[in-house]
């Protein structure tokens, strides 16, 4: 048929088709389809797909497409990436969407990185890590062997673990390699703290000593704690002489110590002399902690150094650098009748005080000293001990397991079995490792030491992050 004749015919047919009812149009189309060959059917199929399947993601402005994508769950987003190249391109340019799903998993977000593909990769890694936590596959274990008597004191920083033992030695270990970096002869260690140059130890002989790593020489000794009250009756086994806890700050030239004589002593770190004795505790002082304050109240300002001391029932807050016989700023407890015991584990970051008790985990706001949160775990609270408390996660443990709790939901999201470690009411024979991940995982801080404890065979049991593949 000639082109002109065909166009006249087509116009006539079109006019007639438009005059038909819907049912007649359908019958006409069915008849034409039945007369069509493969080429016509293929052409019809391609045309119908373009007319009936409208790609809204391609047609919408990017701002509206991004808004809609925020309502999708992560698994649906990943499925949408497989629809076509255009969808994958759009979804992989929506930075806020991937940052949001990472944040929901407890991941720390660096707002300066505006690369959606980066955050998509972070999400996939985060999803794997959270799956490993749920399935008890996030950690691995190792041991440090070298002491010949019980290990009672542990302290960790920057990939190095210090151990103090009844074999009259202290050792410094590289956690990554398991190698002993330094080993020096000391007194019996009940508590330790170290830096690059020195080691400070508190002993069962009622003294504190400062040692030089490089030579092993004792460069300072601190004497002054004594037995007190009913502790005199315990002198047979030496319990009354224990230095339970120490902390120091080179900037302040200050060392603080808590003892079984119910006192806290403040020392000149360089001179070895006692400059202050803080009284008021009626139980063993099992923990002392020096920290710079980050909030303001009627009692302190940001930048002030604060000393916290803990006994069986109370947490006392002290100023540092004040006059002799300075007064306690505040006493905190979880029960006025002293019926609820505090565990010898304390965390203070300058903003909040966190301590575990027989009733659960208590968090105080340091500006007001008010209890702002009480977390009662699913299992019996008295069986759990606090290791670390962050903005997103808390690390807890009991006699059998490590527990990772999501603080946003107060639900345990992971755990890890523990061996029969050496029990200690003071709590110094176990400690957390790297704790920055408690404020949110970032893909880099889930590495290194998670937990360490001393064992009955004098070894050190380590729990470490498994490499996230």
Task: Report DSSP letters for 281-330, one per residue.
Answer: -SS---EEEEEE--S--SS--TT-EEEEEE-SS-EEEEESS--TTPPPSE
**Residue 217 within any structural domain of the chain:** yes
Same domain, 61 and 180: no
Could you tell me if 104 and 220 lie in one domain? Answer: no
Of 106, 135, 164, which closes a domain?
135
The span from the CA of 317 to the CA of 280, in Å, is 11
Helix (H, G, I), strand (E, B) or coil at 25: helix
CA 105 to chain CA mean position, Å: 13
34 domain residue, yes or no = no
Pick the last residue of a domain from 92, 118, 135: 135
User: How does pLDDT run along the chain (469 residues), one tens digit per residue?
Assistant: 888 888 888 899 899 989 999 999 999 999 989 999 999 888 888 877 766 677 777 778 888 888 888 888 888 888 888 888 888 888 888 888 888 888 888 888 888 888 888 888 888 888 899 999 999 999 999 999 999 999 989 999 999 999 999 999 999 999 999 999 999 999 999 999 999 999 999 998 889 999 999 999 999 999 988 764 434 434 444 445 689 999 999 999 999 999 999 999 999 999 999 999 999 999 999 999 999 999 998 888 899 999 999 999 999 999 986 555 678 999 999 988 888 899 888 999 999 999 998 888 999 999 999 999 999 877 665 578 899 999 999 999 988 899 999 999 999 999 999 988 766 544 458 899 999 999 988 888 899 999 999 998 999 999 999 987 5
- Whether residue 112 is found in the same domain as residue 156: no
Give 87-112 as a DSSP string.
Answer: HHHHHTT-HHHHHHHHHHTTB---TT
Q: Are residues 313 and 407 in the same domain?
A: yes
Query: Does residue 185 lie in a domain region?
Result: yes
Residue 17 within a domain: no
Full-model pTM: 0.80
**Cβ contacts of residue 359 below 8 Å, gap of 6+?**
334, 340, 374, 376, 381, 382
Claim to verify: residue 241 and residue 322 sit in the same structural domain: yes
Please check whether residues 108 and 224 belong to one and the same domain.
no
CA–CA gap between residue 221 and residue 42 (Å, rounded)? 93
Q: Exposed, middle or buried by CB within 10 Å (0-12, 13-18, 19+), for 402?
A: buried
Do 76 and 198 belong to one domain?
no
Residues 131 and 213 in one domain: no
Give the Cα separation of 80 and 71 in Å (integer): 13
Burial string for 203-234 (b: 16+ CB within 10 Å, else e) reads bbebbbbbbebeeeebebebebbebbeebeee
Could you tell me if residue 396 is inside a domain?
yes
Beta bridge partners, 192, equal: 201
Distance CA 158, CA 142 (A): 18
Q: Same domain for 263 and 338?
A: yes
Q: Is 210 found in the same domain as 168?
A: yes
Q: Provide the domain count of the chain.
A: 2
CATH number of the structural domain spanning residue 408:
2.130.10.10
CA distances from 199 to 35, 164, 172, 211, 454 (A): 94, 10, 10, 5, 19
CA-CA-CA-CA dihedral for 103, 105, 107, 113, to nearest 10: -50
Do 118 and 233 sit in the same domain of this protein? Answer: no
Q: Judge if 154 and 127 occupy the same domain.
A: no
Neighbours of 377 (CB within 10 A): 19
Residue where one domain finishes, among candidates 102, 135, 168: 135
Domain-embedded: residue 3: no
In a domain, 263, yes or no: yes
Please check whether residue 431 lies inside any domain of the structure: yes
CATH number of the CATH domain containing 78: 1.20.1280.50
Which strands sit side by side in the sheet containing 287-292, from one edge to the other? Answer: 287-292, 305-310, 315-319, 330-332
Of 310, 308, 318, 306, which is closest to residue 334 (Cα–Cα)? Answer: 310
- Per the structure, the complete domain to which residue 229 belongs is given by 139-465
Cβ neighbourhood burial of 182 (10 Å; 0-12, 13-18, 19+): middle
């Amino acid at each position: 048929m000639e082109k002109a004749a065909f166009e006249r015919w087509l116009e006539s047919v079109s006019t007639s088709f438009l005059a038909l009812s819907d049912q007649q149009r359908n019958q006409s189309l069915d008849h034409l389809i039945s007369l069509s060959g493969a080429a016509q059917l293929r052409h019809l199929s391609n045309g119908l797909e373009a007319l009936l399947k409208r790609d809204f993601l391609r047609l919408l402005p990017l701002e509206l497409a991004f808004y809609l994508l925020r309502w999708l769950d992560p698994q649906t987003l990943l499925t949408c990436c497989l629809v076509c190249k255009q969808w994958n391109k759009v979804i992989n340019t929506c930075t806020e969407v991937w940052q949001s799903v990472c944040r929901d998993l407890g991941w720390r977000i660096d707002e300066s990185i505006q690369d959606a593909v980066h955050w998509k990769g972070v999400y996939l890694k985060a999803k794997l890590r959270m799956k490993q936590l749920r399935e008890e596959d996030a950690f691995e274990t190792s041991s440090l062997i070298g002491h010949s008597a019980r290990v009672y004191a542990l302290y960790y920083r920057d990939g190095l673990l210090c151990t103090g033992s009844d074999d009259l030695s202290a050792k410094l270990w590289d956690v990554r390699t398991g190698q002993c970096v330094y080993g020096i002869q000391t007194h019996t260690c009940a508590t330790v703290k170290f830096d690059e140059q020195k080691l400070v130890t508190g002993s069962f002989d009622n003294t504190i000593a400062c040692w030089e790593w490089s030579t092993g020489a004792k460069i300072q000794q601190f004497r002054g704690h004594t037995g007190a009250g009913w502790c005199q009756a315990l002198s047979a086994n030496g319990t009354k002489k224990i230095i339970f806890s120490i902390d120091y700050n080179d900037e302040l030239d200050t060392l603080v110590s808590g003892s079984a004589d119910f006192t806290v002593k403040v020392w000149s770190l360089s001179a070895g002399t006692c400059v202050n004795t803080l009284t008021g505790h009626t139980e063993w002082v099992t923990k002392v902690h020096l920290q710079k304050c980050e909030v303001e109240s009627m009692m302190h300002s940001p930048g002030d150094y604060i000393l916290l001391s803990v006994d069986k029932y109370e947490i006392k807050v002290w100023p540092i650098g004040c006059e002799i016989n300075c007064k306690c700023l505040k006493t905190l407890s979880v029960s006025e009748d002293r019926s609820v015991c505090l565990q010898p584990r304390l965390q203070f970051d300058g903003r909040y005080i966190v301590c575990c008790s027989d009733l659960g985990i208590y968090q105080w706001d340091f500006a007001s000293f008010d209890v702002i949160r009480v977390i009662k775990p699913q299992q019996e609270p008295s069986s759990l001990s606090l290791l670390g408390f962050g903005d997103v996660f808390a690390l807890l443990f009991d006699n059998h397991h490590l527990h990772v709790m999501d603080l946003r939901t107060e639900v345990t999201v992971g755990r890890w079995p523990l061996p029969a470690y050496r029990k200690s009411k003071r709590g110094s024979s176990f400690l957390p490792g790297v704790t920055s991940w408690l404020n949110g995982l970032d893909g880099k801080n889930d590495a290194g030491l998670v937990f360490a404890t001393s064992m009955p065979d004098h070894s050190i049991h380590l729990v470490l992050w498994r490499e996230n593949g």
